[in-house]
Amino acid sequence: MIQPSLAHVLQPKWRSGLQRLREERSGGGGKIVILTVVALAFWAAVFGVLYRVLRYFRGVEELGPLLAGKLLGLVLLSFIAILVLSNVITALSSFFLAKDLDLLVSAPVDWLRLYLAKLGETLLHSSWMVALMALPILTAYGVIYDGGWLFAGYALLTLAPLVVLPAVLGTAVTLILVNVFPARRTRDLLSIIALGAAGVVILLFRMIRPEQLARPEGFRNLLDFLTVLRTPTSPFLPSEWATDAIMTYLRGGLDALPLLLLWSTAAGFVTLGAALHAHLYASGFTRAQEGAERFVRGGVWHRVLNGLLAPLPVAKREFVIKDVKLFFRDTQQWSQLILLAVLVVVYLFNIKALPLFRGEQVPFFFITLVSFLNLGLSGFVLASIAARFIFPAVSLEGRQMWLLRSSPLDLRALLWSKYWVGTVPLLVLALLLTGLTNILLKVTPFMMVVSLATICALTLAIAAMALGFGTLYPQFETENAAQIPTSFGGLVFMMSTIVLLAAVIVALARPVYAYLEAVNAGTPVRPDAWMIGSFVLAAGLCTAATVVPLQVGLRRMERFEF
């Protein structure tokens, strides 16, 4: 029987992709311009930092290329680690949970085509971000070591097998896991493992203080520097082959062995992966159809939350209880808290690592300045968290909106519940971040009060903006909450938040400066019209940023159609 071509099996995917692209284009040029600017800024930043480091390395006789090679090896090894994790998770969706599987599996498509099509899909979904990240890094290498235009093609030739390997490996791990656990339970398990691993990687990365790489002159001797650069090296690591291939080329030579190793291993992996797929996929797919066995008695939850929320009207109470339960029962949601905890630890570690208290006399000016600017940074961290947890709140109701809209639920109550369910934990985190940072910095009571009051007002505004923008740019079709903040609306929200943070900090700069002057002069701080006006302006900005997005969100929600 004639089999459909691989391109035919993949046709719905690329056609849908093209259509989405066309829709994006017809949606106006503004979106594309903003995305391009953000991407270029990111690339420029990565390129800039690496360019500086590599230029320094290039200036070091003999050791320079070695250090550059070590750095590339470290980067490629990290990419492989990230790609394996990301492929394991993506493969679970594309091979076992995707909506098109019923059609493909029931059609007379042979197992090899199905495997290759799904492997390609998994590879593309999990590797595009790493590929984008690799672009400025390799460009920096190419520019510093005069790789020329041909280097682009050569780098592609080297990296292509390097992304295939983790895709096959990740897919194989998923295939085996699904044969042991039900697919949905595997997904939960993987979310926790992946996020836990990511948390550990971030912590380790932070603890080795990578910022020291950018200023090698600060090292006491070369040995210290090499110690920091110590990376796992093994002749069996594909990242080492790729590093060898690239660095040899950049030094003007050409070694076919690393390329041969990369390509033959990739081909071998695909063959082995296909064989494993042939043996295990049918049973794994069958198991994936079984639901995760879940028997839940929510009595305790219900009683505790009911008691706490007793003063609220029934509809609001039930809504809050529902949202809290859904959050803690969805492993993909609550497991993000692991990363959040790591983020807080890293944040506080950064503050503690600041070289403020090394001198004899504590520089009061710097402490106040850091504490003040910390408001902006905390605000940014809170905005990122709001983007992840509050921004998708309305989008996630999309599939159930038939129920909410056909019931006599006041949309204000819905918005109110969503707002407070998101804001209360964010507020606790904000106070914790700012309060602990201030304690670590040993700030004065004046700065403590100013920063705590400001961060409270900012948190209320950030949460409202997240909800407002989430309602203005809903993603009702997306089932994965983690994808929603990466949409265009998420970007607009983050940019608006940065504007708010900047405005509030500028507004408060005057009274903080007046306070510093007064302390320096040894005179008591006298609140004048300027100071009071600045505080009123900052409060006004935060109030407007709280009320307006909620009002706009409510009006938008009233016009939703399904």
Residue type, 161: P
Compute the distance between CA of residue 339 and CA of residue 440 in angstroms, rounded to an integer.
22
Minimum separation from the CB atom of position 306 to another protein (A) = 9
Give, in degrees to the nearest 5, the angle at Cα 229 between 165 and 138: 50
| Residues engaged in binding another protein (CB under 8 A) | 184, 291-298, 302, 313-315, 317-319, 321-322, 325-326, 329-330, 399-410, 559, 561-562
Compute the distance between CA of residue 437 and CA of residue 125 in angstroms, rounded to an integer.
38
Identify which of residues 358 and 559 has a Cβ nearer to another protein in the complex. Answer: 559
Identify which of residues 220 and 559 has a Cβ nearer to another protein in the complex. Answer: 559
Identify which of residues 409 and 516 has a Cβ nearer to another protein in the complex. Answer: 409
Compute the distance between CA of residue 241 and CA of residue 234 in angstroms, rounded to an integer.
9
179 and 284 in contact (C-beta within 8 Å)? yes
The sign one gets for the Cα dihedral 229, 232, 235, 238 is negative
Compute the distance between CA of residue 108 and CA of residue 192 in angstroms, rounded to an integer.
36
The sign one gets for the Cα dihedral 151, 48, 211, 388 is negative
Compute the distance between CA of residue 309 and CA of residue 89 in angstroms, rounded to an integer.
37
Compute the distance between CA of residue 501 and CA of residue 331 in angstroms, rounded to an integer.
32
Give the DSSP letter of residue 335. T
Compute the distance between CA of residue 32 and CA of residue 275 in angstroms, rounded to an integer.
42
161 and 266 in contact (C-beta within 8 Å)? yes
Identify which of residues 300 and 529 has a Cβ nearer to another protein in the complex. Answer: 300
**CB count, 10 Å around CB of 348?**
16
Residue 293 burial (10 A CB sphere; 0-12, 13-18, 19+): exposed
Identify which of residues 169 and 305 has a Cβ nearer to another protein in the complex. Answer: 305
